[in-house]
Amino acid sequence: MGNPNQRVSDLLRAEDGPTAVEYAILLAFIAIGVLASFAGFGDKMEAIYLTIFGALTAAFAG
């Protein structure tokens, strides 16, 4: 298996190492963007549901 320090050193010197790091950073930015869009979308959906609930409550109450 080898020394863990040697394995880390080999990973840092490998040619495909930076590519993997770049993909990881890109994936992190995509995940942040998706989560941010869901947060904004969730607020709008809550407003829509509250409007529908209010309209249904008013329709059945009166």
**pLDDT higher than 60, residue 1:** no
Determine the Cα–Cα distance for residues 47 and 34; give it in Å rounded to an integer. 20
Higher pLDDT, residue 38 or 61: 61
- Residue 49's nearest CA partner among 61, 57, 37, 38 is 57
Structure confidence at residue 43 (pLDDT): 80
Instruction: Render the burial of 29-47: b for 16+ CB within 10 Å, e for the rest.
Output: eeeeeeeeeeeeeeeeeee
* Interval 8-49: pLDDT, tens: 777 677 666 667 788 888 999 999 988 888 777 888 888 889
Predicted structure pTM score: 0.44
Q: Domain boundaries in the chain?
A: 35-62
First to last CA, the chain: 76
